[in-house]
């Protein structure tokens, strides 16, 4: 049972819990106690330290901003108004609170508020669906489009949109970069001929790719009713992020052991048989390294692309909250920041798990 749990934890990238499992089972208490301290207790302590520094910093910035506001009112409007401002800040009235770095508690409250808002929007959607059910049946029977809910998306809806966009962009990058990488990797001439183009296009900014895609998509979808913002976003994400996969695939294919190629020749394998039975299996470690980097880059550039393409995802959420300037906007932006980081971490773990499953690599990821 213990070995099965440890094996499962290693497989899903949670091998750092292994010493705790061994300690609970009574195996080598001294050694596993030290390992548990290093791998579990120390990271928890670092989290608490981070929260403590964050709280102290937010409190210091709050006091600095509050003193500045009071001093400004004192200078411009006199002592009486300054005292009113001081009392207002002390009372917690949102109308006069300093708008600066929020504390961990404020961020947690904003997180709960966003979830509450999601539930409320979900109820509104369901009520709308029930209300328009009979009417939509008639419209569908008449060959017309059904009436859809057009209210604002919730924070969770925007997360789903971003995940859908990044996976669509990742799939596009995979479909473009992998075949091209294989073709280039098989030929020294092609690799030398196109290397200059790859090196020039690889560092191009996401904003530039977005503008290029925008020009093309807008021209091709002038009379279309499809969601152009989604199309522009996922194509831009794919083009920005595909280069790591392309380069690693070409490198992996070109560096396959020549003995494998010679064996394929002896067995008289066809071109496609040689690629799928010899070259690709030998190249998988490098290809999956490229895919992991591609997915990470796709998630990083997604926020900026969604912001500019006006796609209703996390990028749009962050920009709207920044523009809003409400007292809780900073807290909501930090909630989005942690959600973005956590999802990015999960995506990387998923790719690592798939890589281990396919390549049978027992080493833990970095």
pLDDT reported for residue 301: 92
| Cβ-contact 358, 9 below 8 angstroms | no
Distance CA 70, CA 189 (A): 71
The whole-angstrom separation of Cα 247 and Cα 289 is: 11
Instruction: Give per-10-residue mean pLDDT for the chain (366 aa).
Output: 66 66 70 75 90 94 91 88 88 82 93 93 88 83 80 90 94 94 89 90 90 88 74 93 93 84 78 81 87 93 86 89 84 94 91 74 41
Q: What is the pLDDT of residue 365?
A: 39
Contact partners, residue 307, CB within 8 Å, separation at least 6:
315, 316, 318, 319
Nearest to 339 by CA among 308, 303, 295: 303
- pTM, two decimal places: 0.82
Give the span between the Cα atoms of 105 and 84, in whole angstroms: 26
Domain boundaries along the sequence of the chain: 2-91, 104-140, 152-359
pLDDT of residue 114: 94
Residue 226 has a pLDDT of 67
Residue 296 in contact with residue 146, Cβ under 8 Å? no
CB 161 within 8 A of CB 316: no
Contact 244, 290 (CB under 8 A): yes
pLDDT for res 363: 42
pLDDT of residue 111: 94
Confidence at residue 115, expressed as pLDDT on a 0 to 100 scale? 94
d(Cα 65, Cα 319) in Å, to the nearest integer? Answer: 23
| Spatial distance between the Cα atoms of 24 and 37, rounded to a whole number of angstroms | 14
152-359 is a CATH 1.10.3720.10 domain: yes
Query: For residue 295, what are the contacts with CB-CB under 8 A and spacing of at least 6?
Result: 166, 170, 241, 347, 348, 351
Q: For the chain, what's the residue count?
A: 366
Burial of 50 (0-12, 13-18, 19+ CB in 10 A): exposed
CA distance 158 to 340: 11
């Amino acid at each position: 049972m213990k070995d099965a749990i440890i094996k499962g934890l290693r497989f899903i990238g949670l091998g750092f819990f292994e010493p705790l499992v061994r300690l609970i089972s009574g195996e080598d208490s001294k050694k596993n106690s030290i390992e548990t301290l290093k791998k579990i207790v120390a990271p928890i302590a670092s989290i608490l330290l981070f929260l403590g520094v964050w709280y102290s910093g937010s409190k210091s910035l709050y006091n600095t901003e509050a003193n500045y506001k009071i001093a400004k009112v004192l200078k411009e409007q006199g002592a009486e108004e300054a005292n009113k401002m001081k009392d207002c800040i002390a009372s917690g009235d949102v109308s006069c609170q300093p708008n600066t770095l929020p504390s961990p508690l404020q961020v947690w409250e904003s997180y709960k508020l966003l979830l509450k808002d999601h539930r409320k929007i979900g109820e509104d959607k369901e009520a709308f669906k029930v209300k328009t059910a009979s009417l939509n049946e008639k419209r569908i029977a008449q060959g017309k489009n059904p009436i859809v809910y057009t209210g604002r998306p919730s924070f969770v809806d925007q997360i789903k949109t971003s995940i859908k966009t990044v996976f669509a962009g990742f799939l596009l990058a995979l479909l473009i970069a992998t075949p091209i990488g294989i073709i280039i990797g098989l030929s020294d001439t092609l690799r030398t001929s196109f290397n200059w183009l790859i090196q020039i296009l690889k560092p191009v900014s996401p904003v530039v790719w977005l503008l290029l895609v925008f020009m093309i998509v807008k021209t091709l979808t002038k009379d279309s009713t499809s969601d152009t913002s989604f199309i522009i976003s996922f194509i831009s994400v794919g083009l920005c992020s595909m280069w790591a996969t392309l380069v690693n695939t070409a490198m992996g294919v070109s560096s396959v052991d020549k003995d494998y190629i010679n064996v394929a020749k002896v067995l008289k394998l066809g071109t496609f048989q040689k690629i799928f039975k010899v070259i690709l299996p030998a190249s998988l470690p490098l290809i999956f390294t490229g895919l992991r980097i591609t997915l990470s880059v796709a998630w990083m550039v997604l926020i900026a692309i969604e912001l500019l393409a006006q796609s209703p995802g996390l990028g749009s959420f962050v920009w709207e909250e920044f523009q809003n300037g409400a007292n809780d906007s900073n807290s909501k932006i930090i909630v989005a920041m942690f959600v973005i980081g956590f999802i990015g971490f999960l995506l990387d773990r998923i790719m690592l798990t798939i890589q281990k499953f396919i390549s049978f690599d027992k080493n833990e990821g970095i």
